[in-house]
Amino acid sequence: MTLKTAPATPPTATGDEMPLLGIDHVELYVGNAIQAAYWFTHALGFKRTAYAGLETGVRDRSSHVVEQGRVRFVLTAPLLGTSEIARHVGLHGDGVKVIGLSVPDAEHAYRYAVQHGARGVREPWEEKDDSGTVRMATIATYGDTVHTFVERSGYEGAFLPGFERIDEGDGADLFAGIDHVVGNVELGRLDEWVGYYERVFGMTEMIHFTDRDISTEYSALMSKVMADGKGRVKFPINEPAEGKRKSQIEEFLEYYGGPGAQHVALATTDIVRTVRELRERGVRFLSTPESYYEELPGRVGEIDEDLSDLRELGILADRDDEGYLLQIFTQTVGDRPTVFLEVIERHGARGFGEGNFKALFKAIEREQERRGNL
């Protein structure tokens, strides 16, 4: 993708000029949407809430909407092998195509974004039915990933006009919302995309990690966390750094076929219960070495949770100046070593588990070595 450069003296952006209400949805293009929906409902405890496909008059795709708390995923598969969706799945495998952003005015958001250097993908449009109107517009970001601005204006129907409402699945109470979405970009492109989110969204750099902060004996990465003014939307962006062997970011870029969303972090209010239930449902997580927990009390200090539960379940803990957090990462959700999920519980902490990076990297490298990709 070619990113437009900003004007030589771009207008000063403030949080009010590009207000974001949160992440409306994340849409994944997948090879088989009905099977993906089965995994999301049975393994992750989501409820299937809406559907669009041949039965609803849609001829080129099948989309299943699954929800839990404030988390909404749309799982879309191609019905025609010549479609853009099929091309995306063929190149990337199952992966995030759309990160939908809830906004009060979709047309304003689109015009402002394009004026500040974003590439427009689809001009503002609206869809309506008896339940109301939804207004949307789409801009490009890294790789084939796009942001769609969504203005719901009190819409009371299923996900969007053209979808039929469904109530299927047990709807486990495990996840409250999306904490952040992480993107991986090529070597040397990190600052370009940081500048993009600064210009287009008025975001600021919340945290910056260098290859000295995030490294092991074999590999490293650099990362910057972009956030809107209210902290509702957080987009960490990673790029690979030089190392002795292939880093997890390089592995992602190779098997994904370019830049893309690496993982979605799902917030929970009880990570011990959540992870225990997910394990019982068959979700596989990265393993944590026993030695990690020997030094944890001295590094993190007093926490509400029982250390024996964290050790049993492989949950990581970290602390910053404002509190502590607990987190754990699934293994990749598909056959390709690309997309995975994070489960996170915050107790005041605003960080992203930087104290856990080395443990996480070593766990990922063990999986890479098993795949022959280290």
Number of neighbouring beta carbons within 10 Å of residue 107: 17
Q: Does residue 135 lie in a domain region?
A: yes
Residue 190 and residue 330 in one domain: yes
Q: Does residue 212 lie in a domain region?
A: yes
Q: Does residue 10 lie in a domain region?
A: no
Looking at 136, 151, 168, the residue that finishes a domain is 168
Residue 66 and residue 130 in one domain: yes
Q: Does residue 46 lie in a domain region?
A: yes
Distance CA 151, CA 103 (A): 5
- Per-residue confidence band for 362, with pLDDT thresholds at 50, 70 and 90: low
Residue 147 and residue 68 in one domain: yes
pLDDT digits (tens, 9 = 90+) for 60-85: 999 999 999 999 999 999 999 999 99
Q: Does residue 255 lie in a domain region?
A: yes
Return the CATH number at 272. 3.10.180.10
Looking at 168, 194, 217, the residue that finishes a domain is 168
Contacts with 90 (C-beta within 8 Å, 6 or more apart), sequence order: none
Residue 199 and residue 307 in one domain: yes
pLDDT digits (tens, 9 = 90+) for 314-327: 999 999 999 999 99
pLDDT digits (tens, 9 = 90+) for 75-114: 999 999 999 999 999 999 999 999 999 999 999 999 999 9
Q: Which amino acid is at 97?
A: K
Q: Does residue 309 lie in a domain region?
A: yes
Residue 78 and residue 217 in one domain: no
pLDDT score of 187: 92
Residue 74 and residue 145 in one domain: yes
Residue 236 and residue 158 in one domain: no
Domain that holds residue 247: 177-371
Distance CA 369, CA 12 (A): 47
Q: Does residue 11 lie in a domain region?
A: no
| Number of domains comprising the chain | 2
pLDDT score of 31: 98
Q: Does residue 223 lie in a domain region?
A: yes
Distance CA 274, CA 4 (A): 42
pLDDT score of 21: 96
Residue 197 and residue 115 in one domain: no
Distance CA 348, CA 324 (A): 6
Residue 202 and residue 286 in one domain: yes
Residue 294 and residue 340 in one domain: yes
Percent of the chain with pLDDT over 70: 88
322 three-class SS: coil
* φ/ψ (deg, to 5) at 305: -80, 155
* Nearest Cα to Cα of residue 236 among 279, 198, 184: 184
Q: β-pairing, 164-168 with 47-52?
A: antiparallel
Looking at 168, 198, 217, the residue that finishes a domain is 168
